[in-house]
Chains A and B, each alone.
Chain A
Amino acid sequence: MYILSPEQRKVKEQVQHISSVKAMMQKALLEFCVIGWLGSATRLIRWIGALGVIVILSALPLAAAAMDDENCLMCHRYRKLGIMGANGEPRFFYMDEADYAHSLHRNTSCRGCHTYIRKIPHDPVIELVDCTTNCHIKEPFSNREFSHQRVADELSHSAHRMRKGPESVLNRYLPDCKYCHTNEVIDFGRSVFPPEMLKRCMDCHEARGVTTAYRHMTQRLEYKTTRSAREIVALCSDNCHDNPEVMSHFTTKEHVLDAVETYKHSFHWKAIVFGDEHAGECVNCHSGHSIHDIRPISDPLSAIHPDNILQSCNQIDCHTNATYEMTLINVHPTEDKKRNPVIYVLLLFFSYLTVLTVGGLVTVMLMETYRRVRDGRGAWRVRKHQSLWNRLLRERAYKAKKDE
């Protein structure tokens, strides 16, 4: 059965929060219009406005029906359906119909993925969902059942592949499909579709016959992900690349171990922090034509391999004028003593310079103040008639006099 990890639960709560906020806003709008109609002189306009809002609101579906031919929701619609797990953790089996109806998998029935369920009510589930299963959705052009097998193949060449043999002890530190894909609500918002982006569709779908039909799909056509840049960086760094305990199982190289920290010194990250969605996040540079195609730098097909890095800099919306020299710039700038001694010394020099300069100036300032006050060069008094406050008082007095 599908168990929510803490991160996924957080995302789910956010989604629920968003839908409740949406409902609240609709209600508030409605109330505003009705009250406005009752209380105002411009009744006709309000009345038309209220009608319009009601028409629009009724067109917005608050909760849509999910694909549930086999009536799994008969039981799974109950919020507290669950058991106490072996380690004392509550495990909930509740399925939010509205959430599911807005998810990417809304057209897939439950047993499309949970294929091991053969009877209802079913036995306690111990099997895991395999994302490479052929589900019962058919691709419109090839008329074959859809599967994520292509993505899995791609992943099996990437840096995140599941290890085999003696290395398989590392597998528990590696992300599975669900670690990254928490299956959020689709956002149809931004949609500009450069034609070459269509090739991303081919990662999942049959190449044959795929044309503009897929253009309606998602903003994935424009961006490599549906998530914001901040979320991507958080996804890669939290628990994994930011965690030396996990990363030390894979590498001893320092520049890999503190890659997140050094990245956060770069202008890419600073732009993201302050709300630029177009600045480079992790997968912008590290993944090739597909988001799963993340390979180590030693792999000649890697997006950050010295032969390919210019293409990565040259992406649409990035440094389109980039030349080879551009690739020499350090995008993970470090201030480490051993790896970048010049910067370390410079930083040290500047911190001393700043402290000494400001300290020296303050000292001179204090001495000057002491002597000037002692010498009677004037305390901090406003010169005659010079303050705005005095002027105001005088003008007011003058006005009062004039009125008399």
Chain B
Amino acid sequence: MLFYKIRKGDYPRYSIHIVIQHFLMAVCFAVLVITGIPLKYYDAQWAYWLNSALGGIVVTRIIHRVAACVMMFSGGYHLMTIIIGPMMAIWQKKFNIRRTMIPLPKDFVDFVQDIEYFLGLRSTRPAMEKFCYKQKFHYLAAFWGNAVLIASGLTLWFPEQAVQVLPHLRLTVDIFRLLHSDEAVLALLTILVWHLYNVHLAPGRFPIQWLFLTGRITKDHLIEEHFLEYQRLLKEGAIKEAEPTEDAE
């Protein structure tokens, strides 16, 4: 007897590829942070305890590298998705730049208008595209962070090979050593503050959105944050205007 059913969402939003990529990323990110952050704060007592609890650096080093490999795999997988997907859309003449993650001037306008709404200067939120300014910011930050962390991490992992490729060694390796930890801390703080808030803690979204597993978005969410996309989908006939599904019992 199941009394409990998650709210699956009403309209499809993410493909199974994106769901898998997000899942791999999330797990690997957590593992990478837990095994990596003691090295940044090597002076602190908690860092020593945390690292010892996981088996010392001889073990965490391997865990960190395995997780990094999975992360790189999911990154490559994602790159393929974002290259092949739009190419197919262009082929079918369905490509629309407003439905991509590429930042557009409208995003800045949306941001300003959203702030106005938050401050009570507007009565409604702006009508936003498939990906709103928040998501574009977060996505691009993660994209950049991943690129930096993978490059610097590989340099630290294979210094003998990396030095044969890199120019200005004394500086580059120093910069990468610094970037790897600082960029990681920045990413961690962004995830902890921003991502966790938007998907878990924001009023109305609490305690969790099941979007990340089901790939489907609820109607009220789609209308609130992606109104233009909602209208477009309706017009295309991709979705029907349905009452939001009740929480099934």
Contacts and interface: CB of A to CB of B under 8 A. Distances in A.
Given A274-B38, A321-B160, A364 B175 contact: no
A380 B206 contact: yes
Contacts of B247: 383-386
How many of chain A's residues touch chain B, expressed as a range? 35 or more
B105 interface: no
B178 interface: yes
A387 B6 CA distance: 10
Given A325-B163, A329-B163, A350-B186, A274 B178 contact: no
A379 B159 contact: no
A329 B207 contact: no
B192 to A, nearest CB: 9
B183 to A, nearest CB: 8
Contact of A274 (B6, B56, B169): B56
A329 B159 contact: yes
Given A372-B202, A386-B7, A395-B3, A325 B164 contact: yes
A360 to B, nearest CB: 10
A13 interface: no
A377 B203 contact: yes
A207 interface: no
A386 B3 contact: no
Q: Which of B156, B202, B203, B224 has the most CB of A within 10 A?
A: B203
Interface residues of B, number: 55
Contacts of B120: 371, 374
Contacts of B52: 274-275
Interface string B183-210: 1011001100110010001111011000
A270 interface: yes
Given A274-B38, A274-B51, A394-B3, A358 B189 contact: yes
Interface in A345-404: 346-347, 350, 353-354, 357-358, 361-362, 364-365, 367-374, 377-388, 390-391, 394-395, 398
B174 A323 contact: no
A23 interface: no
Interface of A: 264, 267, 269-271, 273-276, 319, 321-323, 325-326, 328-330, 333, 335, 340, 342-343, 346-347, 350, 353-354, 357-358, 361-362, 364-365, 367-374, 377-388, 390-391, 394-395, 398
Ranked 3 nearest A-B pairs via Cβ: A378-B204, A274-B57, A275-B56
12 contacts: A267-B39, A269-B42, A270-B57, A275-B57, A328-B163, A329-B169, A347-B178, A354-B189, A358-B190, A372-B203, A377-B204, A378-B203
Interface of B: 1, 3-7, 38-39, 42, 48, 51-52, 56-58, 60-61, 115, 117-120, 156, 159-161, 163-164, 169-171, 173-175, 177-179, 182-183, 185-186, 189-190, 193-194, 197, 201-204, 206-207, 224, 247, 249
